[in-house]
Structure 1
């Protein structure tokens, strides 16, 4: 066995408390290098006649990527503490792997083993349970619906009659959302994620002027309360977008800094590199990217920190929101997020805290900061295969398998899975108008562990390139909507709700991914679903479905045992085994 490839550490995604009694353990080995792995475990204080009392338990091969095999098991140590090691076998040798390295014989001293000192309940990662069963719908308020023309901003354009630009307005507002909640309910949505609603100069509102005021073009606080109430009556949760990394140019403390320079009482609210303040050619202060209109806030400053924590509290206490999505979350210090979580969770323990991080996020997902992050690694894997056609099905499956083993299961279950957003071109545009490919991406998105999100308008086939093209006005004329795509998504959401294995209750693993055909299983103790996806342009035949009797697929097709299943080009099937 290739010892250099064998890896475990007793923390994070390799050893963690799944709940108050259960530990999950993982081991990584070189792909196809190990035949079996057995966990050796016991309580460190359980000795009889000077012999440590241990148990053995087979580990499951839960996934493989291009380099590694991943082995997983679940145990309930009777006294919530454990010493453990791994017994590995291949065709020619066996060895024991512990914290002290590799042994040909099982060590007698428990100090040689890995240690999980104690399963403290307070250390268990706990995200709100409701998130696991939530299907989100992202709304860019300025472009969803104009329900109250009396509050339109100056220079508003007729709805949808002009292409979106970085500086134009169409008058979308809260009343427009209230007027169209039936559309979301019909689709099966039970969570809304709003991009920023606070007072700002731009149409996107990521340049906050006042964190405690709603932008007048959206309505007032009373209308917002009506919107929250209407959503909650329909069982729809509401999540707001917080931009704490940076403020807007017209944020009062920054305006004071511009006016008074080094004499400003707010000079330490920002990261100023030099005085006098310069905005061109490069700002003399830290910003989001190099945007002079978005000065970076100094969240280590006690006054800034207290102000932003009060903002976090205010919208939960006064309006009963259900979640915070945190913009550019990875550029803010960890201590701020720890204090933020403690502050808002004291008010509403079931509040969902979602960070915008595009890469490996384990440091933020240890139970003391975020409940989840936006799952862009999943997004890119699906888009790279189906839309960009830059990777094979094998590579896509490898990337998704590696991703699932990069985090604990209870983290994966609440990951925010998206395929499009206000920051990216629309799915149909990326797929070159191939609706069949878009459907396959949705199939994987909605059956992948996590909580899926639809970007407004994608469900009716809207198109658009990168910002601002992806921010067109929502199309409300039924004759211009793709109702077939809407019906497909409605069916997927219904299946997710009616079949426990389809959603977050089902474990996920790939059976195979080759020649353009993807097979994966979702399993619970009572149900096993086999997903078949043909991402190629040719008819594919799938053998050996392990069927003992004739069955009906989730889409109503009869599947006979001992016969090959034919998948049409870009076809799909879901079979209950």
Structure 2
């Protein structure tokens, strides 16, 4: 494993800043007012809440200048005007670090906005410097930029070019110099691992303690990590098996995936989650009670767990394939924690208690799982320290009212419902 030592104790809160702060995202949204305090300050107001929940990592979605949703970048070195400025970013980093919270940024290095100045330059002049950064098809009468997954608004960078590697190294170093602690590499699955292998060692020359992981939806995780030199990847396999097994009453699916998860753990420490900015909320997928069981899985298997903001409050929201289809899962958060509805209090207590359990058993970061009992609607597994020095027994049951129990030997140390 190449991940920095601090990731062995990392548990994070994943925030989509534009939605969290109520910034205008779509054309026609109300224009951004000039707030007395920036929207990044709004995120800083929640750091005490993050700390009280027991978390020590803040994973931010895109914060750089973009056209709409943040993944259509206009300028990698400028904070989005809708969120704030360099001073606001510095305040957020300082406030997080004062609380012992690491801050990870979202690196959208597969593509840029079609309105990025480089795109127009590359299309206009095949011999200009920009043309070495953007993938352009000039085989027809009209030059056409390569686009990401059919989205005309997202133009792909040419990752075979050394100039793109230099651009990404420069951006990553710039924000690490400014205080960031690491990066999530957006759409890393769409980039040849050889590109990251050229970039990341150069970043680590100056920032050896940065944690860098990739968004990888499918593929050979172990091979991708090895060839890319990334520290980790997002384990979508475990995410899918967790909600699907609970929803379809087929815990055999989860059993199979936990076996694969142990194999990943032998090579790297996966980034685990049950929700993020791209998927339907876990409470909408499986219901509130089963969402508790999903959280139990998240916090009792190895990895680096991320809680998507609002999941710890039982938020619901459905991802839809339409314009504005992400809005439900990227909501505005209240001004302060005191403004939260009491409807989420029980789910918050569940998460706080599970995080506390993981803090009491730090070996869970690298735990290995053995399933000891399995049926369609019930499952028991032993989660143990990699060296066998400690273990817990976890039972999940959805035969009636969903319930879960965690035992340390003969003692029940956690249960739902209480």
| TM-score > 0.5, shorter chain as reference | yes
The equivalent residue for 1:346 is 205
1:244 aligns with 2:244: no
Alpha carbons of structure 1 residues 167 and 349: separation in structure 2 relative to 1, 3 Å: farther
Instruction: Give the match for residue 322 of structure 2.
Output: none
- TM-score (norm: length of structure 2): 0.88
Q: Larger radius of gyration, structure 1 or 2?
A: 1
The count of aligned residue pairs is 399
CA RMSD of aligned residues (A): 2.6
Match of 1:18 in 2: none
What is the aligned counterpart of 2:351 among 486, 489, 503?
489
Decide whether the 8 Å contact of 2:169 with 2:200 is kept in 1: no
For the residues of structure 2 that align with 1:322 and 1:276, how far apart are their CA atoms?
46
Residue 521 of structure 1 is aligned with which of 364, 367, 382?
382
User: Structure 2: how far apart are the matches of 1:447 and 1:493?
Assistant: 10
Query: Greater helix percent: which structure?
Result: 2
For the residues of structure 1 that align with 2:391 and 2:54, how far apart are their CA atoms?
24
> In the TM superposition, what is the alpha-carbon distance from 1:331 to its structure 2 partner?
2.1
> Which of the pair has the greater relative contact order for Cα pairs under 8 Å at 6+ separation?
2
**Residue aligning to 1:422:** 277
Which position in structure 2 is the counterpart of 1:447?
300
1:392 aligns with 2:258: no
**Does structure 1 retain, via aligned residues, the 8 Å contact 2:258–2:369?**
no
User: Within 2, Cα distance between the matches of 1:251 and 1:546?
Assistant: 55
Give yes or no for contact 1:440–1:572 (8 Å, CA) kept in 2: no
- In structure 2, the residue matched to 1:333 is 192
1:135 positional shift:
0.9
Distance 1:439 1:297, change over 3 A: same
1:272 alignment partner in structure 2: 136
Aligned to 1:219, the other structure's residue is in SS state coil
2:172 aligned residue:
312
Change (3 A) 1:311 1:435: same
| Aligned-partner Cα distance in 2 for 1:541–1:416 | 23
One of 435, 443, 468 as aligned partner of 2:327: 468
Is the 2:259–2:369 contact (alpha carbons within 8 Å) kept by the matching residues of 1?
no
Equivalent residue runs for 1:56-455 within 5 Å: 125-145=1-21, 156=24, 168=29, 173-202=39-68, 204-258=69-123, 260-262=124-126, 264-274=128-138, 277=142, 284-317=144-177, 319-359=178-218, 360-366=220-226, 369-387=229-247, 389=248, 392-405=250-263, 407-411=264-268, 414-431=269-286, 434-455=287-308
Query: Take 1:355 and 1:370, find their aligned partners in 2: how far apart are those partners?
Result: 7
TM-superposition CA deviations, 1:124-175 (whole Å, max 9, x none): x3211211211111111112236xxxxxx7xx5xxxxxxx868746968211
C-alpha contact 1:316 1:344 (8 A) present in aligned 2? no
Residue 236 of structure 1, CA deviation: 0.7
Assess if the C-alpha contact under 8 Å between 1:231 and 1:238 holds in 2.
yes
Contact 1:165 1:468 in 2 (8 A): no
Gaps of 5+ in 1: 1-124, 147-152, 157-163, 279-283, 558-570
Conserved? CA contact 2:135–2:146, under 8 Å: yes
Aligned-partner Cα distance in 1 for 2:216–2:404: 40
What SS is found at the alignment partner of 1:366? Answer: helix
User: What CA distance in whole angstroms lies between the structure 2 residues aligned with 1:191 and 1:546?
Assistant: 27
Give SS of 2:112's match: coil
Structure 1 residues 215 and 225, CA gap change in structure 2 (3 angstroms): same
TM-score (norm. length: structure 1): 0.65
For residues 281 and 117 of structure 2, what CA distance do their matches in structure 1 show?
Answer: 35
Q: Which structure 2 residue ranges, 5 or more long, are not aligned?
A: 33-37, 320-325
Q: Deviating runs (4+, > 3 A) in structure 1?
A: 164-172, 261-265, 275-278, 538-542
Match of 2:395 in 1: 532
**In the aligned structure 1, how far is the partner of 2:278 from the partner of 2:403?**
36
SS in 1 for 2:14: strand
